[in-house]
């Protein structure tokens, strides 16, 4: 597991054995940064059990020195609405609210820039696969939950 520092690098998360953060490797050169909508700000503390944080070379999501609590607080009521919508859709609370808020930001940015919804859903394949075990949902249902919750409550 990579060490988590207080510096503001963008990170990607691995839940279980599935890479939540990217279709591209975290060992890319600076000239070819990841373009995944699931890039995450550095959480500033150790992730929950089963979640691995890997640093990347890109700063697409400026995190500064924000803590996970600050990220959630800055999302305000719409962030809380988004998190409640995820839970209502069967996505379990895993102590990763700041990560999920980052997912919402990336989802809304991607949709707002014209990325087709099907491509945005595809970005959540690994998240769905990782969370499908033990939730009673299929990976596609989890991907749909993340995207539709963001569309309806956050974007």
Helical pair 139-153 and 68-88, crossing angle rounded to 10 deg? 110
125: in domain: yes
40: in domain: no
Q: What's the pLDDT tens digit per position in 51-69?
A: 333 333 333 445 567 889 9
More confident residue, 125 or 6: 125
Is it the case that residue 87 has pLDDT exceeding 90? yes
- Please report the pLDDT score of residue 135 as a whole number: 82
Tell me what the pLDDT averaged over the chain comes to: 71
When divided into structural domains, the chain yields a total of 1
pTM above 0.85, yes or no: no
Residue 76: give the domain boundaries.
68-153
Are the beta carbons of 33 and 56 closer than 8 angstroms?
yes
103: in domain: yes
Q: What's the pLDDT tens digit per position in 8-63?
A: 333 344 333 334 433 333 333 333 334 556 554 443 433 333 433 333 333 344 55
79: in domain: yes
58: in domain: no
100: in domain: yes
42: in domain: no
21: in domain: no
């Amino acid at each position: 597991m990579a060490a988590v520092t207080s510096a503001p690098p963008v990170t990607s998360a691995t839940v279980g054995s599935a890479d939540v953060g990217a279709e591209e490797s975290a060992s890319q050169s600076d000239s070819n940064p990841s373009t995944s909508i699931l890039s995450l700000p550095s959480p500033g503390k150790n992730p929950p059990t089963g979640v691995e944080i890997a640093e990347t070379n890109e700063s697409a999501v400026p995190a500064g020195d924000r803590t996970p609590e600050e990220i959630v607080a800055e999302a305000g009521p719409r962030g809380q609405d988004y998190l409640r919508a995820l839970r209502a859709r069967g996505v379990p609370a895993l102590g990763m609210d700041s990560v999920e808020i980052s997912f919402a930001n990336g989802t809304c940015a991607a949709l707002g820039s014209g990325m087709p919804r099907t491509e945005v859903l595809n970005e959540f394949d690994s998240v769905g696969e990782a969370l499908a075990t033990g939730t009673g949902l299929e990976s596609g249902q989890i991907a749909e939950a993340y995207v539709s919750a963001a569309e309806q409550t956050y974007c």
